[in-house]
Structure formats: C-alpha cells, structure tokens
Amino acid sequence: MLWKEVQITTTLEAEEAVVNAFYESGAQGVAIQSLQDVLLIQQDPKVNFVDASLLEIDPDASIITGYFSELSNTDEALHLLITRVKALPTFGIDPGDCEMMITEIEEDDWANSWKKFYKPTKVGKAMVIKPTWEEYEATEGEVVINIDPGMAFGTGTHETTQLCAIKLEEYIKPGDVVLDIGCGTGVLSLIAGKLKAKKVVAVDFDTLAVKIAKENTELNNLGDMVEIREGNLLDVIDEVADVIVANILAEAIVELSSIIKPYLKENGIFISSGIIIERLTDVLVALEKENFKLLFVQQMGEWVGVVAQKRA
C-alpha cells in the first residue's frame, strides 16, 4: 500500500494550528521539526550524528510532515488541508508561504519513517523523554519517561515543553496537586508525577491525545497518580491545585487567566507556555488584570514561558 507524505513549511507561530489542520484533514500521523529541535538533540553528548541537512532549516520556520493512506480520499484530504491552512490569517495567525512538498512512500517505509523524527531527549534538568522503541542508558540523576506517541507526536524537544519542564522541576514539591491544561500526549503530567506530585489531573479536548496520554501514563506506572480527562480548559476540573501548567496557545492562556484563580490555592503557581513572542504582552496584561504576581519570563527561540503566582 502507498502512503502520501505531505510536508508543509510554515512559521513557528502557526505550527500548532497547521498540525491541527493536518489531523482535521485525516492525516494518520504528524511530525514536527524546527532548527531548535535539531540543535537540542545535537547538544546531547550521547548523540553521535545529526544529519547535516537538518541544520539548514530556517530558524524562523517549522516543518510539519503528515501521512495520508491511499485508502482514504487523499485528493479531498489535501484540498481540506490547504483550505484550512489558507484560512489561518482570518484567525490572526500568519502561516507564511506554506511551501508544500508531496512524496509517495511504500507501506514498509511508512511504518518506520515517522520514527526518525523522535529520539530520546533531555527535557529540563533531569528528565529524559524516550520513545519506547529506542534504547537509552540513563546516567546518574536522570529520570526516564517512556512515551509511545502513536499518531500524536512531535520530536519531543519543542521549546515550549522545555520551558514548562524546567519550571515544573523548580516549583513542584512532593505532595502537590498539579493540573495540566492542554496535556497533549501527557509529557508534562508524567514529569509532574515523576517529581512526586500527590495527584495530577491532565485535560485535553482532543480525543486522540487523551487516549495516548492515558496509555503513556500506564507505560510509566503512574496510573494511580495521574488522571487524564477529556474536556476544554477547566470544564471537567473540580480540584484546587498547588501548580497549574498550560502549554497552549497565547489566546487560550489569556482566556484561562480570567477563570483560573478558583482552581489555584493561595500562593499557587501558574506556569504557561505556547506563547509566541509577539503575543507575550497580551498574556502579561491578562495576568496583571487578574492580579497575578509575575515571577518569571523566559524566551527560548521564538517562544516564551511565563510563571505567575496567585496572590494571597
């Protein structure tokens, strides 16, 4: 059976929106590459080789690769994909020129081609995200998190994940209650669990992401500690947390800022990323409006992480 490999080069700002467009068009899997991803992998002393062509990626671009089965109506799927991407400016998202390249690949190549995008990656100071098919020997002090990303995967090195992971390591204390809003495949929830949080509740509106996050929780023997729920933002949350983390788009963080305080203990910590640098002011204004105390702002590539605290 043949598969179509569709590659779109877009802006960092539009990365998540283009990924969503692929899934909504029927892609069987999606992978994300950026120069920052490659450089983070290259810095790992356990990596002996990085394809030189990957170092030529435009630092302001993100390459999204999706896979479509010949059993589906690929012409219709591609038309829908193009339509959705072209509509992004109406939502205030600049996708750039969106250069597209389409390649046909055989079934055997498909079965392994997407795995080349995903390697063991250090996230934060001590956490290592490892796909289940890769071998990895942890060094002293490292904590390995096993991930089987299925159809909802990226490279595992995205700057926004890094920004959140670093701050989770800094602020989570054993026994804390943690909420992960927009959990995706559950990486940040698993990190919170490994940091000895008493309870972690993770939420995503995407049914596929919820399924995979649940599977990853079981893979890491954290099922008693980490609970995955399907829902939008705080709709399915009853808990009051010590730490809330949200790796989502800036627009959603602005909305979340206005409703989050009842779910956060006094002096509780709100960690957020997914914020493109051009939208940072919007997020900071929203947090100030809700009387949060700003603790930390960090930029990594084109993305920003923000830590705020609920005032007592």
| DSSP per residue, 202-235 | EEES-HHHHHHHHHHHHHTT-TTTEEEEESSTTT
Q: From first to last of the 312 residues of the chain, give the pLDDT tens digit.
A: 678 889 999 998 888 889 888 888 888 778 887 755 544 544 444 443 334 444 455 667 888 988 887 767 888 899 999 999 999 999 889 999 999 999 888 766 655 666 666 778 888 888 998 888 888 888 898 999 998 766 554 445 578 888 999 999 999 999 999 999 999 889 999 999 999 999 999 999 888 789 889 999 999 999 999 999 999 889 999 999 999 999 988 989 999 999 999 999 999 999 999 898 889 999 999 999 999 999 999 998 778 999 999 997
Domain with CATH 3.40.50.150 in the chain: 157-310
Please indicate if the annotation marks 204 as binding a ligand: yes
* pLDDT score, position 154: 44
* Distance (Å, whole) CA 119 – CA 131: 7
Fold for domain 2-116?
A: Alpha-Beta Plaits (3.30.70)
Spatial distance between the Cα atoms of 162 and 191, rounded to a whole number of angstroms:
11
C-alpha angle with apex 31: 187 to 219, nearest 5 degrees? 35
Which residue type, as a one-letter code, is found at position 312? A
- The CATH 3.30.70.100 domain(s) of the chain lie at 2-116
What count of other Cβ atoms lies within 10 Å of the Cβ of residue 10?
25
Cβ atoms of 307 and 293 within 8 Å: the answer is no
**Does the annotation place 267 within a ligand binding site?**
no
pLDDT of residue 81: 94
Instruction: Look up the CATH superfamily of 157-310.
Output: Vaccinia Virus protein VP39 (3.40.50.150)
On whether 182 is known to bind a ligand per the annotation, the reply is yes
